[in-house]
């Protein structure tokens, strides 16, 4: 494990994995965005990369993007690009990518507060 701010090299440069892109195609993709496999009977095309396959496998059940990144040992920025592609192509479904889809903010905050108070 590396300490905060310490440099660690990788064999493959991140821009190789993302085919040169630094930003995801969707601006609603965030580290906490929840991802899940859309349809287990729909395989990726043969041209899919190793990382795309790994991410899809990782998200066979509901998981956040940042957790998938940590488990796959890839930077969040890289997984954001891959995840965004897979959502665009319909292989992954993103939840809570768009703010305020279900509840107004205040109600949501109140629910968070109630949840935290139950921990005390």
Residues forming contacts to another protein in the complex (CB under 8 A) are 1-8, 14, 30-34, 36, 61-64, 66-67, 69-73, 75-77, 95-96, 99, 101-103, 105-106, 108-120
Q: How far is the CB of 21 from another protein (least distance, A)?
A: 15
Q: How far is the CB of 81 from another protein (least distance, A)?
A: 13
Give which of 100, 84, 99, 108 is closest to 35, Cα–Cα: 84
Q: Which is nearer to another protein, 5 or 20 (CB)?
A: 5
The whole-angstrom separation of Cα 34 and Cα 59 is 9
Torsions phi, psi for 42 (to 5 deg): -110, 100
Q: Which is nearer to another protein, 46 or 116 (CB)?
A: 116
How many degrees, rounded to 5, is the angle at CA 75 between CA 69 and CA 77? 100
The whole-angstrom separation of Cα 29 and Cα 85 is 11
Q: How far is the CB of 43 from another protein (least distance, A)?
A: 21
């Amino acid at each position: 494990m590396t300490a905060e701010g310490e440099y660690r090299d990788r064999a493959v440069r991140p821009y190789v994995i993302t085919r040169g892109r630094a930003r995801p195609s969707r601006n609603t993709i965030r580290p906490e965005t929840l991802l899940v496999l859309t349809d287990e009977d729909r395989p990726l095309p043969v041209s899919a990369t190793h990382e795309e396959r790994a991410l899809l496998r990782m998200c066979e059940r509901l998981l956040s993007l940042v957790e998938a990144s940590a488990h796959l040992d890839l930077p969040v920025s890289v997984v954001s690009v891959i995840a965004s592609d897979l959502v665009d192509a319909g292989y992954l479904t993103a939840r809570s990518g768009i703010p305020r889809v279900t509840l107004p903010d205040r109600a949501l905050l109140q629910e968070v507060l109630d949840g935290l108070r139950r921990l005390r």
